Amino acid sequence: MWFWTTFRVNLKIMTIDKYILQCKQNLSKLETIEEYEKCQEMHDLISSLENKDVEKYIYLTFDIKGLEKEGFLKKKATMLEIENRINIFFGLSTIFEYSLIGGGNQLN
């Protein structure tokens, strides 16, 4: 119970905007050390969050084929079905909150 309470408090403190800012700071660090492949991944993630591009975010963050193979997602599910399945499973209001709970592309 303690974990869930702490988790919910932390989720409320971190917002998508704060997460984007953190990603941009990480992107600057990666550029400094010339990690260009990771820079592109981080840039794409930031772009999908800023533009609220659900499809791009899902493809960047989730292994769709792996989730289909494991039976988590139906074969040939629509993007809306994928988004709804993930949101329900993790109790998210929006798919973008997945990054706030430590999921997806974490480049710290």
Encode pLDDT of 40-82 as tens digits: 777 788 889 889 999 999 999 999 999 999 999 999 899 999 9
Number of domains in the chain: 1
94 found inside a domain: yes
H/E element, 51? none
**30 CB neighbour count, 10 Å cutoff:** 19
Is the residue at 107 inside a domain?
Answer: no
**Residue 68 belongs to some domain of the structure:** yes
- The residue behind tokens 């700071």 is 25
pLDDT in tens, 14-51: 677 887 888 788 777 776 766 666 677 777 888 898 89
Residue 77 CA to its chain's centroid (Å): 19
* Exposed / middle / buried, residue 82 (Cβ in 10 Å: 0-12, 13-18, 19+): buried
Give the domain extent around 40.
2-101
- Predicted model pTM: 0.67
